[in-house]
Structure 1
Amino acid sequence: MSARRVLRLVPPAPAPPPLLVVAHGSRDPRHAATVRALTARVAAARPGLRVETAFLDFCAPSVPRAVRLLAADAVAEAVVLPLLLTRAFHAKSDIPAVLREAAAALPPLGLPVPRLHTAAVLGPSPLLVAALERRLREAGLTAADRASTGVVLASAGSTDPEARAVIAGIARRWRRSGWRAVRPAYASAALPRTGDVVRRLRADGVRSVAVAPYVLAPGFLPDRIERGAREAGADVLAPVLGDAPEVAELLLRRYDEARSPVGRLVVA
């Protein structure tokens, strides 16, 4: 008597929670285009993961609109990732407030409220330093240039002392990798400015000066960094971080951390 073979149907694995990337936004169309290029790279690196983009200001869709679309699709939970390099005002106040408002607006529309888990901001991270290094190489620097080159780590700037301390810490640690000097600069809200740091490095006898914008996408403040670098005569100006592979990898790392029981912060 032959044994009867029993086929068991294995249900498909549930889809992972969508990733909602929340960027600052800008009137400059290059900003949204760069953010979308980054999120497209993230989606390509993780097939099956739904990746959405929203903006705090100027660009569409807004955060409430993006959350409403997730709710309309009956999404039970999602990970919200602030596309920010430091934990300053936007991360501490703006994004939590807009997420609470977006969630509160759903029940009157007859929509379910998804559980929104907020991921950590991107920085600091060795992956961001690796992305900075990539952009400097793309701008023409080689390993042989390190010992004679001073780098200006040019960030957007913040009034938050915690954010400024993070930038200063990155500069100190990055200096140990062999650059002649690494010094922070800010495009707004704090001093010194990019051009001033370029001139100080020259006065200190640094032969070659490179400016590395510690910003994710083009816009008003990155343009200010560029003007300061050019007016002060910097030898090298690197592109913004943009859709560097290291940045995309970091987004996925923050997504995975937010899904873990330890890293999970529910805001709605």
Structure 2
Amino acid sequence: MSETHAVVLFGHGARDPEWARPMRRTRDHLRAQAPRLRVELAFLEFMAPTLDEAIAALARDGIRRITVVPMFIAQGGHLKSDVPRLVAAARALHPDCEITLALAVGEADGVIAAMADYALGCSVASRD
């Protein structure tokens, strides 16, 4: 990855700022794994920055490849309608940027396997 590429971890947002703790931990972990990759957070509602604000800041900083990773468990209503509209609007505002929308993180095979492993570990621990 180069310094002209960024990942935006995009979540729903919540009124409680502690809700974003797992997203901040994921961002920090990703930054540690790929120090040259720009990693930012963005939120649909209740928290800042919004997706359009995060993408605008990245574009101002010269980032030309942006991957939006929805930090959602599944492709629900927001991801089927709201998020594609937001990404399309960002593409129109920043035609010099390649903006890619990934599947919801919870749809990835590795994440599903990790959730199953976690649930299994919980069930085993509860028998002890």
TM-score norm. by structure 2 comes to: 0.81
Contact kept in structure 2, 1:25 and 1:59, CA below 8 Å: yes
In structure 1, the gaps of 5 or more residues are 1-12, 107-111, 146-268
Aligned residue type for 2:41: T
Instruction: Determine which of 71, 76, 83 is the counterpart of 2:59.
Output: 71
Structure 1 segment 45-194 matched on structure 2, within 5 A: 45-106=33-94, 113-122=96-105, 123-134=107-118, 137=121, 141-142=124-125, 145=127
Q: Residues 15 and 74 from structure 1, CA distance in 2 versus in 1: closer, same or farther, beyond 3 angstroms?
A: closer
Question: 1:77–1:116: 8 Å Cα contact kept in structure 2?
Answer: yes
Number of residue pairs matched by the alignment: 126
Q: Which has the higher helix share?
A: 2
Deviation at 1:15, TM superposition (A): 3.4
Check conservation: 1:86, 1:124, Cα contact below 8 A. Answer: no
Distance in 2 (CA, whole Å) between partners of 1:14 and 1:98 is 25
Deviations 1:47-98 (A, max 9, x none): 2211111000000001110011011012111111111111121211111111
Structure 2 match to 1:22: 10
Give, as a single letter, the amino acid of the residue that structure 1 aligns with 2:98.
R
Alignment of 1:190-229 (within 5 A): none
Shift of 1:14: 4.2
Contact 2:91/2:98 (8 A) holds in 1: no
Letter in 1 for 2:54: A
For 1:141, the aligned partner's letter is: V
| Cα distance in 2 for residues equivalent to 1:16 and 1:73 | 9
**1:141 & 1:51 partners in 2: Cα distance?**
35
Q: Give unmatched runs, 5+ long, in structure 2.
A: none
Determine which structure has more spread, i.e. the larger CA radius of gyration. 1
CA distance in structure 2 between the partners assigned to 1:34 and 1:117 by the alignment: 23
TM-score (norm 1): 0.42
Cα deviation digits, residues 208-252 of structure 1 (max 9, x gap):
xxxxxxxxxxxxxxxxxxxxxxxxxxxxxxxxxxxxxxxxxxxxx
Q: Is this contact kept in 2: 1:22–1:80, CA < 8 A? A: yes
CA contact (8 A) 2:9 2:69 kept: yes
Secondary structure class of the residue paired with 2:124: coil
The match for 1:165 is none
Higher RCO structure (Cα 8 Å, ≥6 apart): 2
Structure 2 counterpart of 1:125, one-letter code = D
